[in-house]
Copies of this chain bind each other. A is one copy, B any other.
Amino acid sequence: MKVSELGEFGLIDLLAKMAYGARDKRVSAWQQLILGIGDDAAAWYGDDSIQLATVDCLIQDVHFTLEITSWEELGWRALAVNLSDIAAMGGFAKYALVSLALPGQTEVEAIVALYQGMLALARRFEVAIVGGNMSQAPLLVINITVLGSTKGRDKNILTRSAAKPGEQVAVTGYLGAAAAGLAVLRQHLPLESKAAASLKQAFLQPYPRVAEGQVLVEHGVRAAIDISDGLISDLSHLCKASQVGARIEIDRLPVPPAVRANFGDRALELALSGGDDYELLFTASAEVIDRVKAAASCPITVIGEIMPDKAGEITLIDGKGNPVNLPKAGWEHFTAKRS
């Protein structure tokens, strides 16, 4: 069978099973492990805190094209997508390893700019870049590993598997801005310049919700995921891991005014499955969410509810409670469609 037939998530499931099949309870690595393959980051007990590790890979002409991204923006974005995974665990990031593969014909100044972009973000989030690897390759591949932790060993972490029926589903910030920004960049849409700039920035320089992730943990949230593939796709991952379903009220989605104004009917689709928002999607009781709203420094919007449905089943309803057709899911590697 081809990888394209099994799909990205099918392949991950298969390899996760193999990795767990090799589990050996006499080995300290396995004894201390909290979460392996299948969440936003791996987690294990350190001596005095929970350790977190995540890796992401950006590949030229798959995840980015240099025609619409500057090297500095690319560096920022490459690190940001990793910090977002740490944010989705309720941890903070600490160290990064940067593995670059690139053609010899690349300009050194370009790689310096790439690093400047990474370092600008690293500085804001108090992350030290402490290692990496350098290889020759026919195209640019940026692989970044980020190591983080919680502030104490007894801290909770946010997992994909902790959502419970009856909990509310909420998101930080706005949905659809990054996908709208990508459309603006690709199609040179004639938007008012301020709107265009803010949408482009949402795509090119996502701001990982690390502080918000810690607010979630501190106020009692237990289930979260970051929105990289798209709301529906990532909510579906969370629901599958938690063995629940979810109902989303489309009128409650926090779609930014610039997206509503310029994308008409497509605005909803961008918010539901555009992806690249790097907002946090989480579930909790109404009471916990009220506390999170009071403490968070960004908008928190309740968009639906966790249901005792079939695992991973997402239903959409309008303001009157009537079902709405579900657009196809978000980004999946190998199946070669972003629907």
Report yes or no: A59 in contact with B101, Cβ–Cβ below 8 A. Answer: yes
Given A134-B8, A134-B12, A336-B136, verify A105-B53 contact (CB < 8 Å): no
Which residue in chain B gives the minimum CB-CB distance to A6? B108
Contact with A57, one of B1, B42, B95, B99 (Cβ below 8 angstroms): B99
Indicate if A270 sits at the interface (CB-CB under 8 A). no
Given A2-B104, A95-B42, verify A19-B139 contact (CB < 8 Å): no
**A29-37, A169-177, A238-246 - the one binding chain B:** A29-37
Q: Which residues of B contact A63 (CB under 8 A)?
A: 135
Interface hits, A42-66 → B, CB 8 Å: 42, 44, 46-49, 51, 53-57, 59, 62-63
Q: Which residues of B contact A62 (CB under 8 A)?
A: 101, 135-137
Report yes or no: B128 in contact with A33, Cβ–Cβ below 8 A. Answer: yes
Report yes or no: B48 in contact with A130, Cβ–Cβ below 8 A. Answer: no
Q: Which residues of B contact A35 (CB under 8 A)?
A: 130
A48 to B95, CA, bound (A): 18
Report yes or no: B47 in contact with A46, Cβ–Cβ below 8 A. Answer: yes
Report yes or no: B46 in contact with A46, Cβ–Cβ below 8 A. Answer: yes
Interface flags, A118-136, vs B, CB<8A=1, else 0? 0100110011111111111
Indicate if A24 sits at the interface (CB-CB under 8 A). yes
Q: Which residues of B contact A141 (CB under 8 A)?
A: 57, 59, 101, 137, 141, 143
Indicate if A112 sits at the interface (CB-CB under 8 A). yes
Indicate if A106 sits at the interface (CB-CB under 8 A). yes
A3 to B107, CA, bound (A): 6
Report yes or no: A29 in contact with B95, Cβ–Cβ below 8 A. Answer: yes
Q: Which residues of B contact A3 (CB under 8 A)?
A: 102-108, 111
A119 to B41, CA, bound (A): 20
Q: Which residues of B contact A8 (CB under 8 A)?
A: 134, 136
Contact with A95, one of B12, B15, B44 (Cβ below 8 angstroms): B44
Size range of the chain A interface in the assembly: 35 or more
A12 to B98, CA, bound (A): 11
Smallest beta-carbon distance A132→chain B, Å: 6
Contact with A129, one of B11, B37, B106 (Cβ below 8 angstroms): B37
Report yes or no: B44 in contact with A47, Cβ–Cβ below 8 A. Answer: no
Smallest beta-carbon distance A179→chain B, Å: 19
A254 to B289, CA, bound (A): 67
Indicate if A155 sits at the interface (CB-CB under 8 A). no
A46 to B46, CA, bound (A): 8
Indicate if A291 sits at the interface (CB-CB under 8 A). no
Other than the given A3-B104, A46-B46, A59-B141, 20 more pairs (CB < 8 A) read: A1-B109, A3-B108, A14-B108, A15-B112, A18-B112, A18-B119, A24-B126, A29-B128, A36-B128, A36-B129, A37-B129, A37-B130, A53-B147, A54-B131, A57-B101, A57-B133, A59-B135, A104-B335, A133-B143, A143-B143
Residues of chain A whose beta carbon lies under 8 Å from any beta carbon of chain B: 1-6, 8, 11-12, 14-15, 18-19, 22-24, 27-30, 33, 35-37, 41-42, 44, 46-49, 51, 53-57, 59, 62-63, 94-95, 97-99, 101-109, 111-112, 115-116, 119, 122-123, 126-139, 141, 143, 145, 147, 333-336
